[in-house]
Amino acid sequence: MPSIAVVILNWNGKALLRRFLPQVLRYSPGARVIVADNASTDGSVAYLNDAFPQVRVVTNAENLGFAGGYNRALEEVEADIYCLLNSDVEVTPGWLDPILKFFAEYGQAGIVQPKIKDLQNPARFEYAGAAGGFLDRLGYPFCRGRIFQTLEEDLGQYNDTREVFWATGACMFIRQKVFRELGGFDADYFAHQEEVDLCWRAHNHGYKVYYIGASEVFHLGGSTLNNMNPKKTFLNFRNSLFSITKNLPRRQAFPIVLARLLLDGVAAVRFLLQGKGRHAGAVLRAHLSYYRNFFRILKKREKGRFMAKYFATTSVVWSYYVCKIRTFGILVKD
């Protein structure tokens, strides 16, 4: 079996480490467990050194966000497989076994995720990843088990193993060689949708991304940045534009970016009508940041490395809001 390091990124999450780290240690035999600390100020590092001396702590000098924080920490970690695990994930007995077996048997598998369920409502899938991620033609992300705010009940419909487009950063397994070949996450993203970009680049390099339903974890969610935080709105809107610009051929990328800019404007108006002015402002700031960074992002495109088809459906927005399609099995016919 390949060696594995479970790496938990922490930023002022001492309470989460106290709650979730003991189960990670209990249910991860044979794995090295490492906490990468993003310059916490809540005493996390001292707490770890005192309460969990068996856990290696890698400290970053400043808060580098999800993308930069993992990039910096993983420079110091050696293992065949990295598991990037959120500090608010509850793991289960045997969660690593089907993942490691799959990596050992399928050489083309570059990235894998388990089934992600809601810790506060265990019968349902969780927002951040559910049963594997996909994109529509305009680059909007959605999941098996979660389309926008609609979460499906787990009735065993996604107990399979199958190829997906993107895997969640809440619990992502990636081969060390793939992470290093891709240069890790794009640190310009800081947080949110950096895993979509990483998986997209993995596809463009010829690797595959899989979902393994036999492995199950539970995610608390919303612990680092609230789901309705304007900063999350800013990062999601901006970073999605980054990914489209970087990872598609020009003849596809720029018409899609133009369409997304128009649809983002519609979303901003909708926020205003809902009385969410700060979120409307976040959309505007996302566009301004995209324009400021456009030429730098353009230089990151990898010429000649673009997969033929990246999308699973034409428009998840139209299907969800107009056609009222709320489940993956109806939206996408396998």
The closest of 74, 81, 42 to 58, measured between CA atoms, is 74
- 95/205 same-domain check: yes
Write out the residue range of the structural domain in which residue 27 sits: 4-219
224 in a structural domain: no
Average pLDDT, consecutive stretches of 10 residues, N- to C-terminus, the chain (334 residues) = 96 97 97 97 96 96 94 96 97 98 96 97 94 96 94 96 97 98 95 95 96 97 62 95 94 94 95 94 97 94 82 92 93 82
Sorted by sequence, the CB contacts under 8 Å of residue 308 that are 6+ apart come out as none
Tens of pLDDT, residue by residue over 165-189, are: 999 999 999 999 999 999 999 999 9
Exposed / middle / buried, residue 214 (Cβ in 10 Å: 0-12, 13-18, 19+) = middle
Q: How far apart are CA 175 and CA 177, in angstroms?
A: 5
Q: How far apart are CA 91 and CA 24, in angstroms?
A: 6
* Interior angle at CA 70, CA 224 and CA 119, nearest 5: 40
217 membership: H or E segment, kind and range:
strand 208-219
Q: How far apart are CA 261 and CA 77, in angstroms?
A: 39
The helix-helix angle for 250-273 and 230-247 (nearest 10°) equals 160
- 145/262 same-domain check: no
- 187/245 same-domain check: no
**Last-in-domain residue among 219, 252, 269:** 219
- 167/300 same-domain check: no
246 in a structural domain: yes
Bridge partners, residue 86, by sequence: 9
Contact present, 100 and 208 (Cβ < 8 Å) = no
CB atoms within 10 A of CB 60: 21
**Last-in-domain residue among 198, 219, 240:** 219
- 239/168 same-domain check: no
- 182/326 same-domain check: no
**Last-in-domain residue among 219, 253, 279:** 219
225 in a structural domain: no
Longest dimension (CA), the chain: 56
CB atoms within 10 A of CB 278: 14
Q: How far apart are CA 287 and CA 283, in angstroms?
A: 6
User: Could you tell me the CATH number of the domain that includes residue 112?
Assistant: 3.90.550.10
Take residue 322 and report the two structure tokens written for it. 């107009």
**Which residue in this structure is represented by tokens 């969800």?**
320
Share of the chain above pLDDT 70, in %: 98
Tens of pLDDT, residue by residue over 109-160, are: 999 999 999 999 999 999 999 999 999 999 999 999 999 889 999 999 999 9
Take residue 189 and report the two structure tokens written for it. 């993203």
Q: Which amino acid is at 321?
A: Y
The pLDDT value given to residue 304: 72
CB atoms within 10 A of CB 274: 10
The pLDDT value given to residue 223: 45
